Chain A
Amino acid sequence: MNSNLFRYIFSFIFLILLQSFVLNNVQLSGYLNPYLYILFILSLPFDISKYALLLLSFLLGLCVDIFLGTTGVHASASVFMAFFRPFILRVIAPREGYDTTTRPRLQDMGVKWFIIYAFTLTLLHHLFLFYTEVFRFSHFFTTLGRSISSTLFTFILILISQLFIFKKADSKS
C-alpha cells in the first residue's frame, strides 16, 4: 500500500514534469498537442473514492496549469474527465466486476477494455480542454479536429507508456 502511494506520488510529479518540460514543446502544426498527464487519472485504482478522484484530478490539472500558465483550463478538463471515469468504468465493467487487486492497466484488463477505457476518457478530456481553451464555438470544427487529432496522439503515447509498465512489471516479476 505504501509502495503504491509512493508510486502514485512519483507518477504524479513525473507526469507533470514530463508534460510541462517535454510534451508541451511538442506542437506539430498546432493540431497535435499531447497531454499525457491524464495517464495519472487513468491509472488510479478502481476502488478509489469518487471524491478523492475529483480532488486529485483537480490538483493534477491545477499543477499542470501552473506550469503551463493556463490557470484553470487543465484543472477543469481533468475534473471533467474524472467525473466521467466512474460512469465509464461501470459501463465497461466485466461481468464479474472489478478485482480490487488489479489496476486499470493494459496488462491487467486486456487490450480491448483498455482501449475503450483510455480512448473515451482521453477524448472527453481533450474535447473539454480544447473548447475551454478556445472558449467559444465560432471555430467549432477546427477545434473539434484539433481535439480529435490530439486525442489520437495522446492515446498512442498512453499505449506506449503501458508497454513500458508492461516491461517493467515483467522484469520485476
Chain B
Amino acid sequence: MSNLIKLLIRYSFFILFLLFELICFFLIVQNNHYQRSSFLNLFYETSGSIQNRYAAITEYLNLKNINKELAEENARLKISALESKMKLFGENYLINDTLFKQKYVYITCKIINNSVNKSSNYITLDKGALNGIEPEMGVIGPNGIIGIVKHVSPNFSTVVSVLHTNFRASAKVKNTGFFGSCYWDGNHYQTGIVEDIPSHIKIKRGDTIITTGYSTVFPENINIGTVLSFELPPEKNFYTVKIQFTQDYKNINYVYVVKNLLKEEIKELEKLTEEQ
C-alpha cells in the first residue's frame, strides 16, 4: 500500500496530466458533434470488429451444434412439407364445393402391401372401417388415381388397383370434356388404355387424361395419365388411346381414400330415376 502511494506520488505529475487530458477528452467528445461522432464511429467499428472476430471463433467452435441444428431444421421442414400435404387432404379436411354442393373427405393411409406384376393387383391399406373407410371408395395418390376400395376390415382395407384387369374408371381428355373409359390392359404397369373417346375431337400426344367425376368414386380433375399414342380402329368412331399413368404404381407410400359425403344421396336419386 505504501509502495502504491509512493508510486502515485512519484508519478503524480504524469497522473495529473492524464487526468487533465481525460477531462479534455471527455469535454471534446461531450461537446463537439464532429469529434463525438467520429469517436463513436471508431468505438463502434472497433467493438464491431472485435465482436466479429469473437463470433468467427465461437462460430467455428459451435459448428457441430450448428450442423446438428441445421439437420434438425431440415428434418422439421421435411415433416412440415409432408404435413402440409396431409392437411390439404387430411382426415378432417372438407372440400366444400358450393357450385355442386359436393363434399369429399380424404383419409390418409399408408400402403402396407402392393403389387404391380400380376393381372389382378391389389393394394392393402393400414386403415379400415374404424377410420371410416367403406367399400367402393376411391383411392388417389399424390400424382393420380390409385384404385377403388374392395373389402374393409376394422383396421385394414384392400383396394382394387388401377392395375387390375377389371378396373374401370371414367376418364376424359383435359379441357375437352369428352369422356371415355379407362382400364389397364394387363401389359406394362406404366401404360393403360382409354376407350370411347369420340373420333371427331382432336387429341395429341402428351394430352392429359383426368377423372370426370361422373362416378361417385373419384373427384373430378384427378390426373390419370398422359396420352402416349392413339389409333382409330377401322369401322369405329372412337379412339383407342394408349396412356402413360402419371402415378408410378411401383413407388407409392401414402394415399388418400376419398369419402364422398353425398354418395348416398346421388345413389338414391339415380335409383329412383332408373326405377321409373
Q: By the criterion CB–CB under 8 Å, are B25 and A76 in contact?
A: yes
CA gap between A55 and B31 in the complex, in Å: 21
Interface size counted on chain A using CB atoms at 8 A: 21
Asked if B32 and A72 sit within 8 Å, CB to CB, the answer is yes
B13:A73 contact, CB within 8 angstroms: no
What size tier do the contact residues of chain B reach? 20 to 34
Which of B12, B31, B39, B42 interacts with A71 by CB under 8 Å? B31
Bound form: Cα–Cα A50–B28 in Å: 24
Contacts of B39 in A (CB 8 A): 135
B252 proximal to A (CB < 8 A):
no
Q: A54-B17, A80-B21 are in contact. Are A135 and B34 (CB under 8 A)?
A: yes
Q: Which of B23, B30, B39 has its CB near the most chain A CB atoms (within 10 A)?
A: B23
Contact residue among A50, A75, A80 (Cβ-Cβ distance under 8 Å from B27): A75
Q: Which of B24, B31, B35 lies in contact with A79, CB distance below 8 A?
A: B24
Tell me if A58 counts as interface (CB < 8 A to partner B).
Answer: yes
Contact (A72, B16) CB under 8 Å given A136-B38, A136-B42? no
- C-alpha gap A2/B9 in the complex (Å): 31
Q: Which chain A residue has the least Cβ–Cβ distance from B28?
A: A72
Q: Are B17 and A83 in contact (CB under 8 A)?
A: yes
**Chain B residue contacts of A82, Cβ below 8 A:** 17
Expressed in whole angstroms, the Cα–Cα distance for A51 and B30 within the complex equals 25
The smallest C-beta distance from A6 to any residue of chain B, in angstroms, reads 26
CB distance from B266 to the nearest CB of A (A): 84
**Interface presence of A162 (CB below 8 A):** no
Interface string of A64-88 (1 = CB under 8 A from B): 0100001111011001101100100
B21 near A71 with CB under 8 A, answer: no
Tell me whether A132 is interfacial, beta carbon within 8 Å.
yes
Residue ID in chain A nearest B39 by CB atoms: A135
**Chain A positions near chain B (C-beta within 8 angstroms):** 50-51, 54-55, 58, 61, 65, 70-73, 75-76, 79-80, 82-83, 86, 132, 135-136
Residues of A within 8 A of B42 (CB): 136
Nearest-Cβ distance from residue B13 to partner chain A, whole angstroms? 5
Interface residue from B12, B17, B26, B34 paired with A72 (Cβ < 8 Å): B26
B20 interface hit (Cβ, 8 Å): yes
B162-185 interface with A by 8 A CB criterion: none
Least Cβ–Cβ distance between B250 and chain A, in angstroms = 70
A117 nearest CB across to chain B (Å): 19
Interchain CB contact under 8 A, A75 and B17:
no
Of residues 18 through 60 on chain B, the ones whose CB sits less than 8 Å from some CB of chain A are 20-21, 23-32, 34-35, 38-39, 42
Q: Which of A55, A76, A135, A136 contacts B21 (CB 8 A)?
A: A76
C-alpha spacing A79/B17, complex, angstroms: 7
A75, B24: Cβ atoms closer than 8 Å: yes
The answer to whether B13 touches A50, judged by C-beta atoms less than 8 angstroms apart, is yes
Is B28's CB under 8 angstroms from A76's CB?
A: yes
Q: Is the CB of B21 within 8 A of A79?
A: yes
A51 / chain B contacts, CB cutoff of 8 Å: 12-13, 16
Cα(A136)–Cα(B27), bound, Å: 17
Docked CA distance A135–B37 (Å): 10
Q: What is the CA–CA distance of A51 and B15 in the complex, to the nearest angstrom?
A: 10
| Chain B residues positioned under 8 Å from A55 (CB to CB) | 20
Given contacts A51-B13, A73-B32, 20 further A-B contacts (CB under 8 A): A50-B13, A54-B13, A58-B24, A70-B32, A71-B27, A71-B28, A71-B30, A71-B32, A72-B28, A72-B31, A79-B17, A79-B20, A79-B24, A82-B17, A83-B13, A83-B17, A135-B34, A135-B35, A136-B38, A136-B42
Residue of A73, A83, A135 with most chain B CB atoms under a 10 A cut-off: A135
Question: Contacts of B17 on A, CB cut-off 8 Å?
Answer: 54, 79-80, 82-83
Distance to closest chain B CB from A128 (angstroms): 10
What are the residues of chain A within 8 A of B29 when measuring CB–CB?
72
Contacts of A73 in B (CB 8 A): 24, 28, 32, 35
Q: Which residues of A contact B23 (CB under 8 A)?
A: 58, 72, 75
